[in-house]
Amino acid sequence: MKSNKSFLKRIRVTKNGKLMTRKIGQNHFNAKNRTNTTLKKRRPVLITMTNKNRGRYLNNA
């Protein structure tokens, strides 16, 4: 089965095999947010995924 290329472009696999991605909701409409909220959104987020989904979306990763 092919891996999902659009999904692969949005994640990063760490040295230990963890999946990191950007926090949602940071593209626009951020002017009214507090500074702390904006800074928290810049940090990467850990994705937890079952082995079934990992094999489905991330064949090569």
* Cβ 4 vs Cβ 53: under 8 Å: no
At 35 the pLDDT is 93
Residue 55 DSSP SS3:
helix
Q: pTM to 2 decimals?
A: 0.65
Q: Give the pLDDT of residue 55.
A: 78
Give the pLDDT score at 60: 58
Residue-range domains of the chain with CATH: 5-57 (4.10.410)
Query: pLDDT tens digits, residue range 1-53?
Result: 677 788 888 888 888 888 899 888 888 888 999 999 999 888 999 988 888 88
Q: What is the pLDDT of residue 2?
A: 75
Q: Is 39 helix (H, G, I), strand (E, B) or coil?
A: helix
40-46's contacts with Cβ under 8 Å and 24+ in sequence apart are 44/12, 44/20, 45/20, 45/21, 46/18, 46/19, 46/20
- What pLDDT is attached to residue 30? 87
Sheet with 11-13, edge to edge strand ranges: 11-13, 19-21, 45-47
